[in-house]
């Protein structure tokens, strides 16, 4: 299978991290692609009409896109503990973690639009501030409400929600967006422990967005 990837995408990182956690990484041929709304990447558009990564090209030529869809597909290929619990409270909390992680990434991307990527005369400070408020509220929710923030994160089994959360936080730190560690000891300890997992050590973020 070929994974169209980007070394600084939190969504692509989530897919690759899950592949490492489930022993599927060796089955993926990972190809980095730069993508941007302002710079068309024809190779990506040939497989994904939205021009985005990650995209997964299966052996029969079928293409899957969106990190959530790809992760669900990969979770059906391994024989270990499912990364997406099948039912009950565990499933709901896993999916909630993934949804919050995705929302944090979306807010962070919007902050970058209004502070770095959009031409300065076109930036909208009120939008920036509103998105930063979402980030802070998300961090506080995790510190206060998230039951999965255990110090054993470096060695304990994880689910897709925890993978999504770790990759979102890792990207926010990589892009130097409003920090989540100060004043949040549970979240900080969990994140620091998760960084030591072999899957995280094997998949570092790198590179800059090119518009």
The answer as to whether 102 is a domain residue is yes
- In degrees, rounded to 5, the angle at the alpha carbon of residue 33 between the alpha carbons of residues 191 and 40 is 125
The answer as to whether 210 is a domain residue is no
Q: What is the pLDDT of residue 2?
A: 98
The answer as to whether 171 is a domain residue is yes
The whole-number average pLDDT for the span 177-197 is: 97
**Residue 84, pLDDT above cutoff 90:** yes
Q: Are residues 166 and 131 in the same domain?
A: yes
CATH code of the domain in which 33 resides: 3.40.30.10
Three-state DSSP at 175 gives coil
The answer as to whether 83 is a domain residue is no
Q: Are residues 92 and 187 in the same domain?
A: yes
Q: Are residues 55 and 13 in the same domain?
A: yes
| H-only helix segments in the chain | 10-21, 42-45, 67-75, 88-112, 125-145, 160-174, 185-194, 198-201
Q: Are residues 55 and 21 in the same domain?
A: yes
For CA atoms 141, 143, 145, 148, give the dihedral sign.
Answer: positive
**30-69 pLDDT tens trace:** 999 999 888 899 999 999 999 999 999 999 999 999 999 9
The answer as to whether 6 is a domain residue is yes
Of the residues 75, 98, 128, which one is the last residue of a structural domain?
A: 75
Of the residues 20, 46, 75, which one is the last residue of a structural domain?
A: 75
Q: How many domains does the chain have?
A: 2
Q: Are residues 70 and 96 in the same domain?
A: no
**155-186 pLDDT tens trace:** 989 999 999 999 999 999 999 999 999 999 99
CATH code of the domain in which 93 resides: 1.20.1050.10
**130-148 pLDDT tens trace:** 999 999 999 999 999 999 9
Of the residues 46, 75, 104, which one is the last residue of a structural domain?
A: 75
* Pair of tokens at residue 75: 């979770």
Q: What is the pLDDT of residue 104?
A: 98
DSSP letters spanning 84-99: S-SSHHHHHHHHHHHH
The answer as to whether 167 is a domain residue is yes
Q: What is the pLDDT of residue 114?
A: 97
Q: Could you tell me if 134 and 145 are in contact, meaning their C-beta atoms sit under 8 angstroms apart?
A: no
The whole-number average pLDDT for the span 110-123 is: 95
Q: Containing domain of residue 65, as a range?
A: 2-75
Q: Are residues 32 and 110 in the same domain?
A: no
**Residue 154, pLDDT above cutoff 90:** no
Q: Are residues 56 and 116 in the same domain?
A: no
The whole-number average pLDDT for the span 180-209 is: 96
Between 154 and 194, residue with greater pLDDT: 194
Q: What is the pLDDT of residue 150?
A: 85
């Amino acid at each position: 299978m070929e994974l169209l990837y980007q070394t600084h995408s939190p969504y692509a990182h989530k897919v690759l991290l899950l592949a490492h956690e489930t022993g599927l990484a060796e089955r993926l041929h990972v190809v980095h692609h730069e993508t941007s709304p302002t710079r068309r990447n024809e190779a990506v558009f040939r497989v994904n009409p939205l021009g985005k990564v990650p995209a997964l090209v299966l052996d029969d030529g079928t293409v899957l896109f969106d990190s959530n869809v790809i992760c669900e597909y990969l979770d059906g290929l391994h024989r270990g503990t499912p990364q997406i619990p099948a039912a009950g409270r565990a499933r709901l909390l896993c999916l909630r973690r993934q949804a919050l992680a995705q929302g944090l990434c979306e807010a962070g991307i919007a902050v970058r639009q209004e502070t770095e990527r959009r031409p300065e005369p076109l930036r909208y400070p009120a939008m920036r501030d509103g998105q930063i408020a979402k980030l802070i509220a998300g961090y506080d929710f995790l510190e206060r409400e998230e039951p999965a923030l255990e110090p054993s994160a470096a060695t304990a089994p994880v689910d897709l929600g925890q993978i999504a959360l770790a990759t979102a936080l890792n990207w926010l730190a990589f892009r130097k967006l409003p920090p989540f560690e100060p004043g949040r000891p549970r979240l900080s300890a969990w994140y620091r422990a998760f960084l030591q997992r072999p899957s995280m050590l094997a998949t570092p973020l790198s590179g800059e967005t090119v518009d």
